[in-house]
Amino acid sequence: MKFTALLGMTAALVVGGSGIAAAQAPAPAQLDTKKFNVIGTWNFLNINKKVEAPFWSEQLGAASGGKLTGNIKSITELNLKGTEVLRLLKSGVYDVAHALPIYVDDGAAVFEASDLSGVAGSVAQQREILNAWLPEMQKVMRDKFGAQIVSTFAFPQQVFFCRDEITSLADLKGKKVRVQGVSQSDLVKALGGSAVTIPFGEVVPALEKGVVDCGITGTLPGYQAKWPEVVKTIVDVSLGYTAGFVAVNLNSWNKLSKPTQEFMTGQFKKLEDAAWASVESDTKEGIACNTGNGTCSVGPTAKLKLLTPSDADRAAVKKALNDVVLPEWAKRCGAECAAKWSEMVGKRYGLTAKAN
């Protein structure tokens, strides 16, 4: 089964289980025997521990009668910083990769559009954006990386963590803020801060030493990465969710029999549903773990000050999105790309991407 057929299956898979993903799974006797080499996300995060690792290490084997299994290595274990993930996938060293749009170096602006900072205000909206923009992302994966997206996911709500106590987003003016991705950088600059790019695993010492004053990450990932040990305030303003995707090397995929491809498509749908189900609960638990306002099942609660954004704070984020984030992204992606995004995604939320 070549790319066009896989694209059709993936569309059914991502949009919600129609078509082949909902069909009766092939019997194990029909399946190939295959161990997939897989790159996962960070091994100390919930999505890796509770979704990715169990899927590849246990659930896939159980569902396939032991014929299909996975050897998953986290980005933490492999000591990778990002863009190396898709290069290794393209080379065929790994069959499957759990990756982020910020890992895409060739065609980066297209992938960035799935996760523009300040657009998604809810988990459901982030998933809807990914589904709507998926065809454009698929083109880049096929043409630039010889791969295909087979599943999507996201991390918990992205928020500010700051070393000092702050009373509003206006206090970010003049502060150095760790960001991931260019649109977060644009948002921070629009709010008066200075954006600094630092790999996730290096943020704690940077905050501790004052290399940066604040950082952006998910509510629970920040807690699990021990950010509360070096910060005092968490700002519960939604900056998006950090979208992610699971991609398979097409050479590896095309070597599989049709029954095996059909079976894996159904399994990837189950993986996707499990990943998205965790985002909402992890977002809420992250706030509880960081502040002590609620139950934390993954460790002792921290005592960070929780800053609930005011109407003025929310208005500032909206203004930054419309005046800076969208126009700057439109410059990076080009007029045709921006027009497609405005039609496929933006019009759903009253947003237009157009360079100033």
165-199: per-residue pLDDT in tens? 999 999 999 999 999 889 999 999 999 999 999 98
Fold: same for 3-155+242-282 and 158-240+284-349: yes
Task: Work out the burial of residue 327: count CB atoms within 10 Å of its CB; fewer than 13 is exposed, 13-18 middle, 19 or more buried.
Answer: middle
Query: Domain 3-155+242-282 belongs to what topology?
Result: D-Maltodextrin-Binding Protein; domain 2 (3.40.190)
Domain boundaries, the chain: 3-155+242-282, 158-240+284-349
The CATH architecture annotation of domain 158-240+284-349 reads 3-Layer(aba) Sandwich (3.40)
Distances (CA, A) of 254 to 5, 92, 238, 260, 263: 11, 12, 40, 10, 14
- Beta strands in the chain, from DSSP E residues, in sequence order: 34-40, 68-74, 96-99, 147-154, 158-162, 176-179, 194-197, 214-218, 233-235, 243-249, 305-307
CA–CA dist 197, 211 (Å, integer):
11
Contact (CB, 8 A) for 134 and 147: no
User: For the whole model, what pTM was predicted?
Assistant: 0.88
pLDDT, position 25: 63
Residue 67 has pLDDT above 80, yes or no: yes
Contact (CB, 8 A) for 60 and 69: yes
Please tell me the number of Cα atoms within 13 Å of 177 on its side-chain side: 28
pLDDT, position 81: 81
234-275: per-residue pLDDT in tens? 999 989 999 999 999 999 999 999 999 999 999 999 999 999
Q: What is the DSSP string of 258-312?
A: HHHHHHHHHHHHHHHHHHHHHHHHHHHHHHHHHHSSS--SSS----PEEEPPPHH
| Chain Cα centroid distance, residue 125 | 13
